Structure 1
Amino acid sequence: MMSYSIAGKELRLKRLLPSGRGVVFAFDHGVEHGPSDFPREYINPRTIIGKIIEAGVDAVMMLPATAFMTRDLWIGKTSLIVKITSKTNLRPENERLLQSIFGYVEDAVALGAEAVAATVYWGSQYEDAMLRQWFEVKRLAEKYGYPSLQLSYPRGPAIKNMYDVEIVKYGVRAAIESGADLIKTYYTGSLESFREVVEAASGIPVLMSGGAVRERFIDFLRDVENVIRAGGRGVVVGRNVFRHKNPGGAIRAIMKVVHEEIPPEEAIKYAE
């Protein structure tokens, strides 16, 4: 029997990466890090989502309930990725390398999303539990024609430096061998090293994790530029945008670097 879901997945991937590249605004930090992660004026999710949508971002990645409560802001204006695993920092420290279920693939379908996302902490003592989650997500996503974005994060007691290129490459290799259609992973610090990460992905699109806030925004734009020059397909960014004094402008600057390859020194003008 013909599998029509293949066409659905191809269509959704093209919407997420409209130029072959994409900029995704990540907004799962309220659970992962707590309300203190946000400037006070952005405690209400609608405030920051409104600014980001107005700036013209390619996609937003949210947990199902946040996507629902902001639906009037993003419907018809951008693509949605529903993240269906998460965890809090309220749990005991030795259990923080385990993601929990925060929704289901059916929720993403009901919301009209373009993709589903789930985290795997490769190297965690809970790796097996997260793989069971991942493969359940992947199985249903394939059924409905949805791409699966894996947040491929090498973290665990045996990992001394999770940004080491060999460690990041290992996580990326594990991601492609577990069926990821898109991979979000750490930036390894240079164009040359990130090129190795892209090579390890063997054609599966790699998106840079925005990570912690850079002291100077232009340095973040230079990281993004290196990712693109290394063959990366874009960025999934949260804190470097919603902690910026001009979040909409920050997104516009990132979009210029990713889609038009405008140098950071010029693109930063959009964020001023």
Structure 2
Amino acid sequence: MDAYQSVGIRRRLKRFFRRDGRALIFAMDHGFEHGPADFEPVWEHVDPRIIMRKVVRAGIDGVMMLPGVTRLAVDELKPDTGLMIKLTSKTELRPKDEQLLQSQLGFVEDAIKLGADAIAATVYWGSPQEDVMMRQFAEIASYAHDLGFPIVQFAYPRGPYINEKYGSKEDYRVVMYGARAAVEIGADMIKTYWTGSKETFAKVVDAAAGVPVLLSGGAKTDSPVDFLKLVWEVIEAGGAGAVVGRNIFQRENPEPMIRALLRVVHRNEDPEEAAKAEGLL
């Protein structure tokens, strides 16, 4: 018989992943990580309630927020919308030599009080502060798992020696290394960088040994189809979906984009066909 905690972890993961084992998750931590300027392209989206209402209406599988924004916007979620709460972050106001550290800004108990289905934390693999983030992640994961909550790692290779010693952060080998490290420290889901091709991203997926790997959406693309093609390649490579922020909230009307992404993620639909079906072309 499974331990109660294992049952809870599996059930809560299903709140993000549909029967196909894939998920599209909306990310809303940018106001802290990058500052409110990220919302200037569509300023009304600085209010998390407004953008959350739109993404939920479009059928998003899950959302990721920090604790305080969750408190503001949680009433906009549907009962079956997966809620991921991230407990680490940093601001860009820090001195540059401290930018490679994510600090803990909340606790597992806070996430549970807010109704979280999963708990997330970042590790910058290769950072001089890697040890601090490893310990931080291990402590969060241990407590979350004890209580039956899945733990998500944002596995980002970043550090002063990444370029010269391991290759750029887009090099599939260093992204693959970060994904594997996330698995070995206990992650139940991984969010990480695109590696440039579906062939190399497939190796990242292989290194994760069955733990779902989702794309970190990154900066907004000029063309919606370009981003749809990127997510399609992730799915073709065996990825489990994407966690998307700027490619949603920096668009004036994000709902057609979300519906097109859902077509790509859950139906394996051709990106251009998905874009046409949702009026993006």
Common topology (TM > 0.5): yes
Match in the other structure for 1:249? 256
Match in the other structure for 2:146? 143
| Alpha carbons of structure 1 residues 88 and 262: separation in structure 2 relative to 1, 3 Å | same
What is the one-letter code of the residue matched to 2:180? R
CA distance in 2, matches of 1:243, 1:2: 43
Q: Deviation string for 1:105-152 (max 9, x for gaps)?
A: 111211221100000000001101111110111011111111110000
Which runs of no fewer than 5 residues in structure 1 stay unpaired? none
Match in the other structure for 2:12? 12
TM-aligned CA deviation for residue 212 of structure 1: 1.2
What secondary structure sits across from 1:257 in the alignment? Answer: helix
TM-aligned CA deviation for residue 182 of structure 1: 0.3
Q: Equivalent of 1:51, from 50, 54, 71? A: 54
Describe how 1:21-40 pairs up with structure 2 within 5 A. 21-38=22-39, 39-40=42-43
CA distance in 2, matches of 1:47, 1:216: 24
Contact 1:248 1:271 in 2 (8 A): no
TM-aligned CA deviation for residue 260 of structure 1: 0.8
Contact 2:202 2:237 in 1 (8 A): yes
TM-aligned CA deviation for residue 245 of structure 1: 2.7
What secondary structure sits across from 1:119 in the alignment? Answer: strand
Match in the other structure for 2:241? 234
What is the one-letter code of the residue matched to 1:221? L
Match in the other structure for 1:180? 187
CA distance in 1, matches of 2:177, 2:29: 25
Contact 2:201 2:234 in 1 (8 A): yes
Q: Equivalent of 1:103, from 88, 106, 118? A: 106
TM-aligned CA deviation for residue 69 of structure 1: 0.8
What is the one-letter code of the residue matched to 1:33? H
Contact 1:189 1:223 in 2 (8 A): no
What secondary structure sits across from 2:75 in the alignment? Answer: helix
Match in the other structure for 1:265? 272
Q: Does 1:132 align with 2:135?
A: yes
Q: Equivalent of 1:155, from 150, 155, 158? A: 158
TM-aligned CA deviation for residue 271 of structure 1: 5.4
TM-aligned CA deviation for residue 13 of structure 1: 1.1
| Alpha carbons of structure 1 residues 196 and 120: separation in structure 2 relative to 1, 3 Å | same
CA distance in 2, matches of 1:97, 1:111: 28
What secondary structure sits across from 1:81 in the alignment? Answer: strand
Q: Does 1:93 align with 2:100?
A: no
TM-score normalised by the chain length of structure 2:
0.94
CA distance in 2, matches of 1:122, 1:50: 34
Contact 2:120 2:151 in 1 (8 A): yes
TM-aligned CA deviation for residue 82 of structure 1: 0.5
What secondary structure sits across from 2:162 in the alignment? Answer: coil
CA distance in 1, matches of 2:122, 2:279: 30
Contact 1:253 1:271 in 2 (8 A): no
Match in the other structure for 1:198? 205
TM-aligned CA deviation for residue 197 of structure 1: 0.8
What secondary structure sits across from 2:14 in the alignment? Answer: helix
Contact 2:123 2:155 in 1 (8 A): yes
Contact 1:53 1:77 in 2 (8 A): no
Contact 2:125 2:157 in 1 (8 A): yes
| Alpha carbons of structure 1 residues 77 and 205: separation in structure 2 relative to 1, 3 Å | closer
What is the one-letter code of the residue matched to 2:30? H
Moved more, 114-123 or 33-42: 33-42
Q: Deviation string for 1:46-81 (max 9, x for gaps)?
A: 111111111110000000111111121014251100
CA distance in 1, matches of 2:279, 2:107: 36
CA distance in 1, matches of 2:214, 2:68: 24
Which runs of no fewer than 5 residues in structure 2 stay unpaired? none
What secondary structure sits across from 1:70 in the alignment? Answer: helix
